[in-house]
Each structure stands twice: as structure tokens, then as C-alpha cells.
Structure 1
């Protein structure tokens, strides 16, 4: 059975804060972060933006690219920052795009790979015949405690993908996952900000899972890095995916288009999906795309994707990912703190 992506869309808030502005407030050396993390600025949600509104905008862009909301029988939204502890984001999206009510919906959570887990679930739902098409979304308004290293990268944005059997813009040839219980990053119920294991989040966390899942995928697909036109890896910063690509044998040119983090930060559940959206914006028929996500806790999902002839008919029907990224309005730290609710007032 042929399964794949029939429509896609992304959304990135317009507001930005530069790494220099954050470093100035905390007395840090901005170059340590710009060079060490390979990030120069990050996206910031507007006062009225959250995971739900970002997911809706991404979903609407997918509808503009040809998805019929009445044929969407499942919507799954992956995020670390759902606006409600008890009340699904997915139903908000369904109502906003005119889907349902004859459908199933749920919210997913697996740190930064909840979105790609939703893609795999959509593949299963469509394959089983439960839904004609299904929508997977990865979106976040990421959290970073004031003065923490995460504050330099935790950003806002997301992407939506409609999975189906017909009218495909890209086929998903293979998928696989690598998962372990590795507590490299976590946030307790009720906590405002996540905590992380510092350097522990690198090699035992990110690299072990991304490299293992990627090698599994190359073996399963019977391919090598040079067989792909593009590669996208989870991007908590610019350094990690660059190192992972180099270790596996992918070139800088292969990851360049999908490496959005240096100019917009880490959108957590949306990170690898926004990168894939950026690739699909420019991909040509026959191009092959390699994708590996990562979620702390910890696991990685890998995908082998081939772009179809239909891609050229939908690329210009909605705003492209890099156009969102380039449309930036810069703010100072005080405005950023207000937008992110970092100023707490006792009632």
C-alpha cells in the first residue's frame, strides 16, 4: 500500500529576539551561544498566540495546499505546550478548519518528537482504513527559564502534514523508530519550565537516538546518504544536526534548506517538521528526503520520503516556510518577557 503526504503547511510567528539581546540582559557573551549553538535569533509568539493558534495556522496552510477537511478522519497534535492540561488542542484545530465531527482526535506528548509520532499514527490509521486522510501536527511555544541556556533557543512555530493514499505530493517509503528510557530532559506537572541534564542531553540523549534511528533507516531502505537530495534532523540548535549529519555522511548542502533553527530557534515538537516543510517548499519531483526527529525521554523517528510530480502544483498555494522566517519583527527583552509571560504578578 502506498502511503504518503498529500498536503502540508507551516507557520512561524513574526516576532524575533536576537541572541545578543538575551545575552545583554544576563551578562553572557553572545558569541558563546551564537558560535556554540549556531543560533543567532529565535521566534517569539505574539500575545495572543499559543500552540493551538500556531497549529490552526499550519493546518489552514495545509488546507490551502489541497487537503479536503471533510475527508480528514483523524487529527493528532503533538506538543510540549498544549494550552490546556485537560482539553485537547486537536479539537480546536478540527473546528477551525471545518473538519469533523465524524472523526477521531487526540493530543500527543513525547517531548520534541510528538509531531513525528503523530505522523506515524496517521499512517497506521489511514492504512487500517479508519480514516481516508489524517492530519499530524507538531507545534510548540517552547519554554526556557530566565537565564537558562534553553532561553537562547526555545522558540515558537509548527507544521502540519496530511497523510493519505491518493493525490500524494510525497510518498513515505519507510519509517522506523529507536526508543529508550533516557531522562535527559523533563518538566514536572505544574512546573513552568523544563529542566535538562546539561551535557547528558547530547551524547546519551540526542546523538545516541538520532544516529541509531538513522542507521536503522538506511539499513531498512537499503540506501546511503548520497542517495538523498535533502536531509532533516531534529534541531535543538544548529550544532547538533550539523554534527549528526556529518557523522552519518550527509553533506552541509543536503541539510541547508531544512536547517531553520539558526534563524528561528528550536520549535520543539515542530522542529523537524518545520524543517521538512521548508524542504518540500523547494523540492522537485523525484527528490528523496531523509528525516530523523528526536524527543527527549528519549526516542527518534526516521522517515525515507520520495517527492512526486504533484509537488509543483501545491508549493505556491500557501506561504512558504522560509518566507515566514524572513518576515521578522525584532523586539527587546522586556517585550519578549511580556509575550512569554515570564513576569509573574501575585494576585
Structure 2
């Protein structure tokens, strides 16, 4: 059985509140925060980008479990904010952790589900026996144009999952996907910020695809929401995942551990994976987890996961050795809009 043998997350300490952004654009902060269910969002430091976040997330995964670097046969990094248009982030991750040369490495793009697409690819390679271990990363320094609705939620963070068959802490029982050509969100080459279809992002974007993938999983596995202890859905804001959970029949308690967006914002390719990491931080052996990502353009990947007793076996996996998602969210450093704009490259110093 292919499964997650270790995982790690990375979230920058810097934050900006919804009130601070709203103050600049003359919006009502209570209305914005209430409508999105988001209080603040993370932003990168001046020397942080998708590559550094992906490296740190992977290092945190390796802190929890000593994985033979020579046995890592695949590295895939999903993001829509790769530092280079032509140069792989995945190769940088491999070099930084001492895993090069690996058998295969590539960068993925599929809006916010590029990270879970990387997980599926690693599952196939590991399951076929082509590689012993595969690393899947979802990381982003998400973009939002000044004054655009996206600016209130576009955040920074990432998560790395290492896949293998030897003593997994969480077995991936099944995965399936639901994809259509629905252009609700896009960014052309050379454009600094994405554009979106406004209300069409919700439906026929987010809800149609998550519902499609989730119902497909129920059909494939013969399950219902009552069969799962936890559920994670892509979280562009706090309202969408809570609404789709209710539509499918999941409870607020099932999604609570993984719903980190109110204090984090939308980390795009990292969002559903960080939610899964937060859930694994508190999960116990035997717990069953339902995950469905979403990427504009548009598609969703669903996963049925069972936590094994290895998650509490310190001889195999040291969960407390790396910071939990809750610990990464703690002790934030708040900035004003000017410093936020500088960190995000919205204003540049001419030299």
C-alpha cells in the first residue's frame, strides 16, 4: 500500500490583517472579513519564495523521519508562483536536501491543485516500483493584484509529503479526479497577477468540481461522510470549504482541525496539503481522512486516507521533531501595508 511516510509544512511568520488591507482601499473590514471568514494572511520575508518554502517544508518532513536520500527517485513541486518561468524548482529542492541526482523531477502547474497532482504522480511511480520514495510538494507565494479581491487572501506557505510503501504513517486507499475546461481563473505568461471570473469561481468552478470528485470517491469506495473522522477541502476562504462540507454531509467538527485559512489565508497549491498536515498533526491510529483539493481551470483530486499506528511509533516517525502547523501559525509578526507591498514586490526600489 502506497502511503505518506512523513510530511512537513512551512509558513512564513509575517502576517497582514484584513483590516490593514481594507484601510488602504477604503473597504469595510468587517464586511470583508465576515464575507471571507479570514482574519489575516501570511506573506513571505524578503528572501523567501516558493523554492525556499518548498525546501523548508521538505526538510521538516525529513526531520521527522530519516529517509535515504539516494532512494528518493522523484521530486515534484506544484505551484503557480515558481521563481523561474524556465528553471525547475524541483531540482533546487533535490539539491538542497542532498537527493540529486534523482530519477525524475518536474514542476507542476494546475492552479491550487498542483500539489495534490504531484501526490498522485508519486503514488503511481512508487506503486509501480519505478521509485522507492517520491516527494510531492505544494507551495506558493500567491499573487493578488493591488485592490483586487484576491489580495485579501493570497498567502504564502507550503507542504511536502514523502510517499513510500515502507511503514507509512497514513495509507492512501484510493484517489480519483474530476476535471473540466472551466476557465474561472487564469494568468498569461508575463502578467504579474492572475485574473478571475468573479462569481464563476464558486460555481461552476469550486463547488461543481469538489462535489464531482467527492461523490466519485463515495461511489468508488462505497463510503459516506459518516465513515470519515476528518475532512479537508481546498480553502480559498473559510466560507467555501464549510459550505461544501455541509452540502456533502460532513460536520463542522470533521473539518475543524484542517481549516487553517482564517489565520493563514489561501496558500494556493499548499492550501489543501497544509490542511491535511494540520489534521495529521492531531490524528490517531485508525482515523480515516477525506481530502479534496481544487484547482481553477478546473479540477479536483480526492483522497481516501487511513492513519496507521506508525504515526505514534517514535522508532519510525517523530511527529514532534518538526513544527506542527499550529506552531507555525503561532507568534506572527504583523506588518503594515507598505511593508507588505515591499515584501510582495508590489513596490520596487530603483537602483
The TM-score, its normalising length taken from structure 1, stands at: 0.98
Task: Say if 2:153 and 2:265, in contact at 8 Å, map to a contact too.
Answer: yes
Q: Tell me how far apart the structure 2 counterparts of residues 59 and 121 of structure 1 sit (CA, whole Å).
A: 17
**Residue 42 (structure 2) pairs with residue 43 (structure 1):** yes
Partner residue, 2:190: 190
Tell me by how many angstroms 1:345 deviates: 5.6
Q: Tell me how far apart the structure 1 counterparts of residues 134 and 205 of structure 2 sit (CA, whole Å).
A: 30
Partner residue, 2:346: 342
Partner residue, 1:19: 18
Describe the superposition over 1:241-267 as per-residue Cα deviations: whole angstroms up to 9, x where unpaired.
000000000001100100011111000
Describe the superposition over 1:199-234 as per-residue Cα deviations: whole angstroms up to 9, x where unpaired.
011010000000110111111111110111110000
Q: Name the SS for the 1:9 alignment partner.
A: strand
Aligned residues: 346
Partner residue, 2:247: 247
Task: Say if 2:43 and 2:343, in contact at 8 Å, map to a contact too.
Answer: yes
Partner residue, 1:124: 124
Partner residue, 1:85: 85
Q: Name the SS for the 1:310 alignment partner.
A: helix
Task: Say if 1:73 and 1:100, in contact at 8 Å, map to a contact too.
Answer: no
Tell me by how many angstroms 1:68 deviates: 2.9
Q: Name the SS for the 1:289 alignment partner.
A: strand
Q: Tell me how far apart the structure 1 counterparts of residues 179 and 292 of structure 2 sit (CA, whole Å).
A: 13
Q: Name the SS for the 1:216 alignment partner.
A: helix
Describe the superposition over 1:298-321 as per-residue Cα deviations: whole angstroms up to 9, x where unpaired.
000000000000111332121101
Partner residue, 2:148: 148
Describe the superposition over 1:109-134 as per-residue Cα deviations: whole angstroms up to 9, x where unpaired.
00000000000000011112111010
Tell me by how many angstroms 1:70 deviates: 2.3
Unaligned runs of 5+ in 2: none
Partner residue, 2:261: 261
Partner residue, 1:294: 294
Unaligned runs of 5+ in 1: none
Tell me by how many angstroms 1:97 deviates: 0.7
Q: 1:331 aligns with which of 332, 335, 338?
A: 335
Q: Tell me how far apart the structure 2 counterparts of residues 82 and 9 of structure 1 sit (CA, whole Å).
A: 19
Task: Say if 1:63 and 1:69, in contact at 8 Å, map to a contact too.
Answer: no
The TM-score, its normalising length taken from structure 2, stands at: 0.97
**Residue 245 (structure 2) pairs with residue 278 (structure 1):** no
Tell me by how many angstroms 1:344 deviates: 4.2
Task: Say if 1:230 and 1:279, in contact at 8 Å, map to a contact too.
Answer: yes
Partner residue, 1:317: 321
Partner residue, 1:307: 307
Q: Tell me how far apart the structure 1 counterparts of residues 218 and 335 of structure 2 sit (CA, whole Å).
A: 43
Describe the superposition over 1:313-344 as per-residue Cα deviations: whole angstroms up to 9, x where unpaired.
33212110111012311110000000000014
Describe the superposition over 1:146-185 as per-residue Cα deviations: whole angstroms up to 9, x where unpaired.
0000000000000000111112000000100000000000
Describe the superposition over 1:2-53 as per-residue Cα deviations: whole angstroms up to 9, x where unpaired.
1110010000000000000000011000111111010000001000000000
Partner residue, 1:113: 113
Task: Say if 1:14 and 1:324, in contact at 8 Å, map to a contact too.
Answer: yes
Task: Say if 2:72 and 2:102, in contact at 8 Å, map to a contact too.
Answer: no
Task: Say if 2:53 and 2:157, in contact at 8 Å, map to a contact too.
Answer: yes
Tell me by how many angstroms 1:346 deviates: 6.2
